[in-house]
Amino acid sequence: MTASTQALRQALIAGERRALSRAITLVESTRPDHRAQATALLSSLTAETGGAMRIGLSGTPGVGKSTFIESFGMQLIERGRKVAVLAVDPSSTIAGGAILGDKTRMERLVRARNAFIRPSPSGGALGGVARRTREAILLCEAAGFDTVLVETVGVGQSETTVAQMTDMFLLLLAPAGGDELQGVKRGVMEIADIVVINKADGDMKAAAVRTRADYASALRLFRPRTGEASGYPMALTASALEESGLEDVWSALETLDSARRASGFHSRRRETQAQQWFDAALEAHLMTAFREKTDLATLRAQVTAGTLTPDTAAEQGVSAFLEHR
Ligand code: GDP
């Protein structure tokens, strides 16, 4: 480890937010020398990590994620917790993608001493984003944050990815206008531990109460997972704007967290997460090495031209790679 990385490590462990920012920038970098320092830093921090309550949070744009994180985060800080907010946004590479972890929308939290907010990194495939987020979680833990909220937008694969790196998953929904369940993908319902019907205030309160009841029955159809506290997955109502119902969300999270700790669910999940992380890292490293050693562009061109079948091209690529070791 270089002297500057060593200094960064000290400042990070001392809980300096600027050091945490710099460390996250380091793990986000793809420059080989940065990567080497990031790896050295992370390896030196294993004893300092794993302590936080890792909470995944998802919902479609406009449902109130930023508002919820701000209100909920402030309440947690009042309870004496240290809250880090990370964002996973696979759409940020696309122009007009949702803005996650938007600091301008979390004004109070940004100023709070015991909060840290990191907007989503732009660029890169979901695989890369996932790796960087996993590493950022570890860095937040090393910096003493005991609650890490990982925000993602309700599109496809990203929830599953976030669920794999967190302990519990919150899904935010808006009150439904009609009587049918909103177009929530089944997969997202399956990973949600707590469904929060947000905007349960003013004109929308009655609709929110109805929507909650609909989801409570829908969730009952999903079998409780092994080692779970009874009553989960659960549906609640809240108003991020009026800051009501947030205590219930927190106590539901705490209850689930204790139950999962007692049953060994958490440690089993962390083991699975470590394995999944290893698999993903292995794949990423193999692909990087593969790209360096073989002429992927030519193989691709041959597949496009139809001179090679995709399978043959893959086979030839791997043979060439192995010969070049
Ligand atoms: P995000 O895109 O999911 O992060 O949603 P935002 O937090 O930016 O909120 C989108 C809009 O919904 C904003 O105009 C918020 O003021 C509003 N909003 C958020 N939470 C609530 C709530 O609990 N009640 C009401 N009435 N409006 C809310």
In short, whether 67's Cβ falls inside 6 Å of ligand 1 is: yes
Domain ranges of the chain: 1-47, 49-263, 275-323
Mean pLDDT of the chain: 85
Ligand 1 lined by 101 (C-beta under 6 Å):
no
If you take atom 24 of ligand 1, which residue's CA is the nearest one? 199
Contacts of 31 (CB under 8 A, 6+ apart): none
CA of 305 to the centre of ligand 1 (A): 50
Of the CA atoms within 13 Å of residue 75, those in its CB half-sphere come to: 17
Long-range pairs for 177-182: beta carbons < 8 A, 24 or more residues apart: 177/207, 179/210, 179/214, 181/214, 181/215, 181/218
Q: Is the pLDDT of residue 225 over 80?
A: no
- Whether ligand 1 lies within 6 angstroms of the CB of 99 is answered as no
Q: What is the pLDDT of residue 41?
A: 94
19 vs 226: which has the higher pLDDT: 19
* Nearest CA owner, ligand 1 atom 15: 64
Q: Which residue would you say has higher pLDDT here, 224 or 203?
A: 203
Say if residue 214's pLDDT is above 70.
yes
pLDDT of residue 268: 81
Q: How far is CA 63 from CA 29, 107, 201, 202, 261, in A?
A: 32, 18, 13, 16, 31
In the prediction, which pLDDT does 169 show?
Answer: 93
Q: What is the pTM of this model?
A: 0.84
Kindly report the protein residue whose alpha carbon is nearest to atom 27 of ligand 1.
199
Q: Is the C-beta atom of 257 inside 6 A of ligand 1?
A: no
pLDDT tens digit sequence for 92-109? 544 444 566 666 678 899
| Confidence bin at 185 (pLDDT 50/70/90) | low
**CATH class of the 1-47 domain in this structure:** mainly alpha
Fold classification of 49-263 (topology level): Rossmann fold (3.40.50)
Evaluate: CB of 241 within 6 angstroms of ligand 1: yes
* Digit-coded pLDDT (tens) for 269-287: 778 777 877 887 788 788 8
Lowest-pLDDT range of 63-67, 146-150, 271-275: 271-275
- How many angstroms is it from 31 CA to the middle of ligand 1? 38
Residue 182: is its pLDDT beyond 70? no
The confidence score (pLDDT) of residue 94 equals 45
Dihedral of CA atoms 242, 248, 254, 256 in degrees, nearest 10, equals -130
Any atom of ligand 1 within 6 Å of the Cβ of 198: yes
Please state the rounded mean pLDDT for residues 262-272.
81
Question: What pLDDT was estimated at residue 95?
Answer: 43
pLDDT band at 176 (very low <50, low <70, confident <90, very high): confident
**Residue 92 near ligand 1, beta carbon < 6 Å:** no
Kindly state if the Cβ of 166 falls inside 6 Å of ligand 1.
no
- pLDDT tens-digit map of 25-64: 999 888 888 988 998 999 899 889 988 999 999 988 889 9
Q: Ligand 1 pocket: which of 57, 67, 203, 205 to mutate (most atoms <8 Å of CB)?
A: 67
The HSE-up count of residue 221 (CA atoms within 13 Å, CB side) is: 7
- Ligand 1 center–CA 67 separation, angstroms: 6
